[in-house]
Amino acid sequence: MRLKIILMLLLLLGVVTMSCSKDQQQQSSQKRLTLVAISGVEGDALKAAALDYKAQTGIEIEITQFPYANLFEKEMIDLNARTGAYDLIMLDDPWFPTFASKQFLTELTPLLHKRGQNGPDNDFVDTSIALCRHPYQTGSLYALPYVGNSQLFFYRKDLFEKHNLKPPATWDDVLAAAKTIQEKESDSGMYGYVMRAAQGNAAVADFMPIFWAFGGEMFDASGKPTVNSPEGIAALEFMVQMGKYSPPGYPSFNAQEVGAHLLQGTAAMAINWPVWITQFDDPSKSKVIGKIEFTTLPSGRKQGQAEIGNWLIAIPRASQNAEAAMDFLVWATTAEQMKRSALRGNPPTRKSLFRDPELVAKFPAYPAQMRSLKTSRPRPRTPQWNEIENVFGIFLSKANSGVLSPVEAMNQANAEIEKIVQRGQ
């Protein structure tokens, strides 16, 4: 009898030990999350937020960062394999339709309901939240917007004042100002305009605001490519004409070269992203302190619209820690935490922060950024955008290099885009 009691006690002790061990394992997994982010200021701010979160909650967030050129591929491999290696991912908004359409992401609304929220609050900028829904604007919520980038038009206000030029409201104004400034400032090596026209994303990013302003559309209502419409061809002809007032080699330029010309005071105007704004006031980098002004994109036949470029955060469907990941995501996108990110250099996605006195004092371009973001436009919301953008950018760059005429470039681009669309059907 005594032996039987001892065996029962040992068995009970084993069950308790196993239960405690299991609880400890669960607690351990809940104390650690994994996140993949972009290298640079956007990802660095999220990395800093993760350290703040650990200090407050004890939950460690392991962050892996990749440069832009590699991030999409790295995320795509993991999401497609459904390994669950990442609990949270940072993604550029043009990638979102691909990830959402393949059902790679966790729907967030049910997780918000558990936290007493019907959905994202109204302080988020509408154009930013629209990017996080699939289908676009009206569908289910699969991400939250973290960095509120949209393009701005940069110009040298001192040169405009010097030559009695009004701030550019239309693309015709831009062309006329570029010609005037380059001719009258020729002794100083000044170029009237600088733009990106390197193959792929670079050329497309600088072209789309011109394309839209001229009335161009990439697809018609039935989804058929229409980049070679008369409006589209006219837009590319205008871009090539603007190239006459850009520095030599611009068909291979990316954001770094455009930023360098603005910082060194060798170009008068450009389209660029808000991340460059703080550098213009940095004496160690800038020769144009206090000379750059920012405004919304010029108009043409249609009202000017910037290309939106938000960074989003989503939870992969394969994550084993969706609840804990959602806790961090909600926390990181509160107004308080997003203000910290803004102070670290990232434009917010909340209306209240664009009006925050401290932020406006530090970033005087915020009113212009808010106007740009509210009226901005996304790249076409198609899962095939990455492939389409790459092909389109090749032909845009060839036109700017003089290899093809604008008509030839747009006709060939349209044919290649149509092949991509057909392969995806």
Letter for the amino acid at 228?
N
- Domains of the chain, by residue range, sit at 32-148+309-374, 152-308+379-424
User: Is the Cβ–Cβ distance between 105 and 333 less than 8 Å?
Assistant: no
> For residue 196, how many other CB atoms are within 10 A of its CB?
28
Fold of 32-148+309-374: D-Maltodextrin-Binding Protein; domain 2 (3.40.190)
pLDDT at 13 > cutoff 90: no
pLDDT in tens, 119-171: 999 999 999 999 999 999 999 999 999 999 999 999 999 999 999 999 999 99
Question: Is 21 a residue whose pLDDT tops 90?
Answer: no
Partners of 36 in beta bridges: 64, 89
Q: What is the pLDDT of residue 5?
A: 52
Question: Is the pLDDT assigned to residue 173 strictly greater than 80?
Answer: yes
Q: What percent of the chain has pLDDT over 70?
A: 93
Q: Which of 389, 398, 397 is nearest to 417 (CA)?
A: 389
Across the range 30-38, mean pLDDT stands at: 90
Banded model confidence at residue 422, pLDDT cuts 50, 70, 90: very high
Confidence band for 351, pLDDT divided at 50, 70 and 90: very high
Instruction: With beta carbons less than 8 A apart as the criterion, state whether 349 and 121 touch.
Output: no
Q: Do domains 32-148+309-374 and 152-308+379-424 have the same CATH topology?
A: yes
CA 17 to each of CA 3, 13, 21, 25, 37: distance values in angstroms, whole numbers, following the listed order: 21, 6, 6, 12, 39
| pLDDT one-digit tens code per residue, 286-319 | 999 999 999 999 999 999 999 999 999 999 999 9
Segment 183-221, tens digit of pLDDT: 999 899 999 999 999 999 999 999 999 999 999 999 999
Q: How confident is the model at residue 8 (pLDDT cuts 50, 70, 90)?
A: low
Query: What letter represents residue 216's amino acid?
Result: G
The domain made up of 152-308+379-424 has a fold known as D-Maltodextrin-Binding Protein; domain 2 (3.40.190)
